Amino acid sequence: MQNTDLSGIGENIVDEILDTVETPIALLDGDGVILRFNHACEALTEYSEAEAVGQKVWDFLIVDEEIEVVRQVFAQTCLDDLPTHYTNYWKTKSGRRRLLRWSNKTIRNQTGDVVIVLASALDVTDLKSIEHDLVESQAFLRSIVDACPVAIITADDDGRILTFSRQAELTFQRKETDVIGKNIHMLMPEPDRSSHDDYMGHYLRTGEERIIDRARTVKALRSNGENFPAILHVSEFTDGRRIFVGFIEDISEKEETERRLADTQFQLQHAGRVGAMGEIATSIAHELNQPLTAAASLAGAVSLTLKKAKCERCDEAIALLDDVVGEIRRASQIIFQMREFVRKRKTAMSLHGVNKIVEDAAALAIIGADAEGIEVKWDLSPEVGELSLDRVQIQQVVTNLIRNAIDAMHSSPRKVLTISTKKTSGGASVSIADTGPGLNDELKDKLFEPFVSDKDDGMGVGLSISKSIIDAHQGEISAANLDSGGCVFTFKLPAGAHGETGDHS
């Protein structure tokens, strides 16, 4: 190989190297005065080499809040022979900031004095910006996950938990830090806990999807050992590795609400049947009592007539007639007692929130209303508060009025059901309004009488029972047509204390 003689071009070749590389390089003396400022530095800072040479680097390039720290790092660099590394901001001529990662090395003369500090930089401004955006993006995604109302859990194909959302912490009553890296079967009760790993292994071996992308009801386990019902939906994706995402919705409150509604519905149906039987029995007793009384009077009149006739066989007939009158009166007394029995049903009076009673009853009564195209509007006054009343019986009234309103709007072009409560000077009122055809003038005055109905299949006891219940609460019930169309039923309940129990007569 031919030797190349580089003598005599030492300084020139250094200049060429400095100005050729794209890395910002500055040569400084031991006091921080700039001796050389290559083209990359000029491009970075917008200062020419002529403007930079002769100035101390911290007098115009270093941002104010970092000047003292940079001076300390520079002083340490001059003391050590080992390279130093530091990241700080330079400000450009136009005032922009650039983040630079510096590598500094001292060059000394034969006596050990610092001749030159060689400073080379890597501009990491854009890299830091990307990292910042990535962190913000991850934080944004995490905030979305944490804002989700259902628990979200991710796990790898070994079943190890990778992330645990805020709702998951609330649902399972566990901290994310306590579950990360642990097997997800810790969130399952037996027998699912023991069989989970086998299910996972079967899926990974065969690809047979048993639970992926299928919602199903499962039992989950809280940290206190409580089992609770949940809806589980599992998805998967690949991000360099297989990740499973589980969406878990705690439905224990939903099931409890459904159970409570079912109980309420049963109580209302039972109360309705008992009430209907009572109204029918009362009406029949009333209707039978009149002819029985008439029959007793007629038999008594015949007996009196025979007594005046004084015939030979009259005494025998008179005795039989007296027996007839006695039996008729006994039958009448039995009917009277039955009527009193069915009319004097006890009401279980206690304090209840009026709005809560209305909401619970309406939840049952409006089932299927949306399928009928009925819009439900609520106007429940928070000032109504609590009253002493029989919860089941008042719910029975509300349910009956709402169902009547829904039936009334069956053929109406506009179907709006309005349920409202209002505080009154003497208690509270509840109103159920519809946009049906309104009340028939012929029935308006007899609405609350037994066996009066404008429905083809109606028995006509619902409103009669409702009135009996409101009467037992010493309240009032009324109905009126609305100017805008339809009608409104309103019942008022007093705030007075009538004791814990009362007679429903």
Q: Which helix (H) or strand (E) holds 481?
A: strand 476-481
Q: Is 13 helix (H, G, I), strand (E, B) or coil?
A: helix
Average pLDDT for 222-239 = 82
Residues 364 and 322: their CA atoms lie apart, in Å, by 56
The values of phi and psi at residue 107, to 5°, are: -120, 125
* 116 closest CA partner among 22, 31, 51: 31
CATH 3.90.105.10 for domain 350-504: no
Q: Give, in degrees to the nearest 5, the angle at Cα 55 between 52 and 58.
A: 100
Q: What is the pLDDT of residue 183?
A: 87
Of the ranges 51-55, 95-99, 157-161, which one carries the lowest mean pLDDT score?
157-161
pLDDT at 435: 93
Q: Which residue has the tokens 């009553």?
A: 173
State the DSSP H helix or E strand holding residue 370, giving kind and residue range, or none if neither.
none
- Domains of the chain, by residue range, sit at 11-123, 138-250, 254-343, 350-504
- Dihedral angle sign, alpha carbons of residues 215, 221, 223, 224: positive
Three-state secondary-structure class, residue 428 = strand
CATH number for the domain whose boundaries are 11-123: 3.30.450.20
**Which residues does residue 428 pair with via DSSP β-bridges, in sequence order?**
423, 493
Task: Kindly write down the DSSP assignment for every residue of 379-393, as one continuous string.
Answer: EE-TT--EEEE-HHH
Nearest to 424 by CA among 478, 480, 492: 492
Helix, strand, coil shares, percent, the chain, to 5: 45, 25, 30
Handedness of CA 446, 452, 455, 459 (dihedral sign): positive
Average of pLDDT values for 351-377?
Answer: 87
Query: Amino acid identity of 490?
Result: T
Q: Which two tokens stand for residue 91?
A: 């400000």
Query: 13-17, 227-231, 495-499: which range is least confident on average?
Result: 495-499
Strand partners, 238: 242
CA nearest to 66, candidates 103, 100, 94, 33? 100
464: confidence class by pLDDT, cuts 50, 70, 90 = confident
Q: Is the pLDDT of residue 419 over 90?
A: yes
pLDDT band at 34 (very low <50, low <70, confident <90, very high): very high
What is the per-residue pLDDT for 275?
57
Q: State pLDDT tens for residues 122-169.
A: 888 877 767 766 666 667 777 777 778 888 888 888 888 888 888 888
Q: How many CB atoms lie within 10 A of CB 188?
A: 19
Q: For the CA atoms of the chain, what is the radius of gyration?
A: 46
CATH superfamily name and code, 138-250: PAS domain (3.30.450.20)
* pLDDT at residue 485 tops 90: no
Location of structure tokens 């029935």: 443
Tell me: the pLDDT tens digits for 255-297? 777 677 666 666 656 555 555 555 555 666 666 666 777 777 7
Q: Which fold has domain 254-343?
A: Helix Hairpins (1.10.287)
Domains 11-123 and 138-250 share a fold: yes
Distance, CA of 157 to CA of 172 (rounded, Å): 22
Q: What pTM was computed for the model?
A: 0.41
